[in-house]
């Protein structure tokens, strides 16, 4: 039986991953290690209370002693989701991003070496590649060119993982994924923020001309990709996951308005984000070929399911509005 240390398991992607793995593999145990910062929410894992194969441990990955204590719970593998992840916040203050994403990753790597974990999975982002032109796709061979403090901190963490794998022979892989959406996403990110605003007839802030392009993937497709990388990924390799679903921010916004039956007059154009990357798009053929993974959710089904989740879980959204979750553009433009 494997015992996984899942960092950031009370966050959006981490909580979906834990729920997925416990539901599909009866031989796995999970220790959820989360510092419960503003985006970490115990309510995301409330349905797991009482599950004997699940244990929550409150802890900070930037604290070496807390990481070591968690590793002493018989951990066999590490799946590292925990991160400061919002570009807008990194523009306001990059300090927490460097501490959590770089120093926190170093602490986990050192502890993984000390306790001889079987496998270490670093969950990263396509943003480390920078920005694409109008054509082309990010592959695992694309040079790193991060353009924000957030993506720079994630690139730094990825390079540490590669260095530990090469220098110490650690069994470590890196995954990089495009924009996620789905249930339990913290409402500072575009889709949950816009859905909850639109439901309440509040304007939604669209940066610049709204023609920035992102590739969207349902969070459960991302979770199965991380699982595949853990089970079958080759040490030292990078695996990209994407949904093959490119949309401009403006097209996505009008889709949400239409699905919720609200007028396009709720769009509020605001000054563009500093250094805003124009386009991301992922080539995930390596993961399909080597891991046997493929996205299962169409965007049409996924976005409708996501909207319905937020409609049915207003208590969840209301419950976290007491936290400081205003994003950069909300603070800047009063959206």
pLDDT band (50, 70, 90) for residue 304: very high
pTM: 0.92
Q: Is 114 annotated as catalytic?
A: no
Q: What percent of the chain has pLDDT over 70?
A: 96
Q: Which residue has the higher pLDDT, 89 or 69?
A: 69
Q: Which of 120, 129, 150, 164 is catalytic?
A: 150
The mean pLDDT of 290-308, rounded to a whole number, is 97
Is the model's pLDDT at 334 over the cut of 50? no
Confidence of residue 327 (pLDDT cuts 50, 70, 90): low
Name the nearest CA neighbour of 206 among 246, 248, 254, 249: 249
pLDDT one-digit tens code per residue, 140-173: 999 999 999 999 999 999 999 999 999 999 999 9
Confidence band, pLDDT 50/70/90 cuts, at residue 331: low
- Please identify which of the residues 84, 88, 127, 283 carries the catalytic annotation: 127
CA 219 – CA 249 distance, rounded (Å) = 18
Quote the pLDDT of residue 306.
97
Whether 126 is a known active-site residue: answer yes
Per-residue pLDDT averaged across 308-314, rounded?
94
Percentage of the chain with pLDDT > 90? Answer: 80
Closest CA to 186 of 7, 9, 13: 13
Which residue ranges form the domains of the chain, and what is each CATH number?
A: 2-180+217-241 (3.40.50.720), 184-214+245-276+298-325 (3.90.25.10)
pLDDT of residue 323: 47
SS3 content of the chain, % helix, strand, coil (to 5): 45, 20, 35
126, 158, 277, 283: which is the annotated catalytic residue?
Answer: 126
φ/ψ of 218, rounded to 5, equals -70, 140
Tell me which DSSP letter residue 25 carries.
-
What is the per-residue DSSP string for 233-255? PPTT-EEEE--S-EEEHHHHHHH
Q: Longest C-alpha distance within the chain, in Å?
A: 57
- What would the mean pLDDT of 196-216 be, rounded to a whole number? 93
The predicted pLDDT at position 329 comes to 45
The alpha carbons of the chain give a radius of gyration, in whole angstroms, of 19
* Cα–Cα dist 121/109, whole Å: 10
Mean pLDDT of 59-74: 97
Residue 269 Rama label (left phi>0; alpha psi -120 to 50; beta): beta
How sure is the predictor about 328, in pLDDT bands with cuts at 50, 70 and 90? very low
Better pLDDT: 256 or 273: 256
């Amino acid at each position: 039986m494997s015992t996984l240390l899942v960092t950031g398991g009370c966050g959006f992607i981490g909580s979906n991953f834990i729920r997925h793995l416990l539901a599909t593999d009866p031989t796995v145990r999970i220790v959820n290690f989360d510092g419960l910062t503003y985006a970490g929410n115990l309510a995301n894992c409330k349905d797991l209370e009482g599950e004997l194969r699940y244990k929550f441990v409150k802890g900070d990955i930037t604290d070496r002693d807390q990481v070591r204590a968690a590793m002493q719970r018989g951990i066999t593998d590490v799946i590292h989701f925990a991160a400061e992840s919002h570009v807008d916040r990194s523009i306001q203050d990059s300090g927490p991003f460097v501490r959590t994403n770089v120093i926190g990753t170093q602490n986990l790597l050192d502890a993984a070496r000390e306790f001889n974990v079987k496998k270490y999975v670093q969950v990263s982002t396509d943003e480390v590649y920078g920005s694409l032109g109008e054509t082309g796709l990010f592959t695992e061979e694309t040079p790193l060119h991060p353009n924000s403090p957030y993506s720079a901190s994630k690139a730094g963490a990825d390079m540490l993982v590669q260095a530990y794998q090469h220098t110490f022979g650690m069994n470590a892989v890196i995954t990089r994924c495009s924009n996620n959406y789905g249930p339990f996403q913290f409402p500072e990110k575009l889709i949950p923020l816009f859905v909850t605003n639109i439901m309440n007839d509040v304007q939604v802030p669209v940066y610049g001309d709204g023609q920035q392009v992102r590739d969207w993937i349902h969070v459960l497709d991302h979770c199965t990709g991380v699982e595949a990388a853990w089970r079958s990924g080759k040490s030292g390799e990078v695996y990209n996951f994407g949904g093959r679903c490119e949309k401009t921010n403006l097209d996505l916004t009008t889709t949400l308005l239409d699905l919720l039956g609200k007028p396009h007059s709720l769009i509020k154009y605001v000054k563009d984000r500093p250094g805003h990357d124009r386009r991301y798009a992922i080539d995930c053929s390596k993961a399909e070929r080597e891991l046997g993974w493929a996205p299962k959710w169409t965007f049409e089904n996924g976005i409708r399911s996501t909207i319905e989740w937020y409609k049915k879980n207003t208590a969840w959204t209301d419950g976290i509005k007491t936290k400081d979750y205003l994003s950069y553009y909300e603070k800047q433009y009063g959206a």
